[in-house]
Homo-oligomer: A and B are copies of this chain.
Amino acid sequence: MPTVSSEELAAAAGVNSAKLRKDFSYLGSYGTRGVGYDVEYLVYQISRELGLTQDWPVVIVGIGNLGAALANYGGFASRGFRVAALIDADPAMAGKPVAGIPVQHTDELEKIIDDNGVSIGVIATPAGAAQQVCERLVAAGVTSILNFAPTVLSVPDGVDVRKVDLSIELQILAFHEQRKAGEEAEAQADAALEAEAGAAAAAAGKSGKGPDGDVPAVMPA
């Protein structure tokens, strides 16, 4: 029976072994003292706990550059996610296959969600359309949203939103880069400022937003 010790796993994941053991203990006591954890059983338990033993149908709304890349991405399927439908507002795209899946028009959104029992939606529309799309998804029964548009979505309680903002990722890198390049100690205010910076820009009289409502320019430019 192949096993791993918490020490080995901790080294591989780059975390403390005690923390790892404590985390595992929340799932129950699957380890064997003096031996370690049964790899196969452990993988199964974690998979089950994380919800990987079931297939999650997802819809992607907004099949532009990013949406198409996501549709083509094979990494989702291997983690238990199935692209149930691609949805776009552009009538010219309707019926056109992307990654082998025909794009459907936004009109069908509610029906698609309902028919497929979709509870997870991905938003890859321009920022200006995101909130509206979000509301339709939620109204149709979606309770988890992965948002790529650079907007803060407001949703009712019970709905989870995760935002992927690539600009902020780069900003965080640039921030640390600046540190390395000089500027002695300075402040320790880091990523926390990010959200606040956005809020400040918004407070600046909404003048920071472009015509199509995309990324608020924090820099006066």
Tell me the smallest distance from the CB of A130 to a CB of chain B, in Å: 13
**Stretch from A87-95, A103-111, A166-174 that touches the partner:** A166-174
Complex Cα distance, B152 from A169, in Å, reads: 17
Chain B residues contacting A69 (CB-CB under 8 Å) are 65-66, 68-69
Residues on B with C-beta less than 8 A from A40 are 204, 220
Contact B15 A195 (CB under 8 A): yes
| Residues in B neighbouring A53, C-beta threshold 8 A | 219
A115 at the binding interface (Cβ < 8 Å): no
Task: Show 12 residue pairs from A and B whose CB-CB distance is below 8 angstroms, ordered by the A residue.
Answer: A9-B199, A9-B200, A12-B202, A12-B203, A13-B199, A43-B219, A43-B220, A54-B178, A75-B166, A78-B210, A78-B215, A145-B173
New A-B pairs, 18, CB < 8 Å, besides A65-B69, A78-B210: A23-B189, A26-B187, A26-B189, A40-B204, A46-B197, A49-B175, A49-B187, A50-B171, A50-B175, A70-B166, A75-B166, A78-B167, A78-B217, A81-B170, A144-B174, A144-B176, A144-B177, A146-B170
Residues of A within 8 A of B (CB): 2, 4, 8-9, 12-15, 19-20, 23-24, 26-27, 39-40, 42-44, 46-47, 49-54, 56, 58, 65-66, 68-70, 72-76, 78-81, 119-120, 143-146, 150, 152, 158, 160, 162, 164, 166-167, 169-178, 180, 186-189, 192-205, 210, 214-215, 217-221
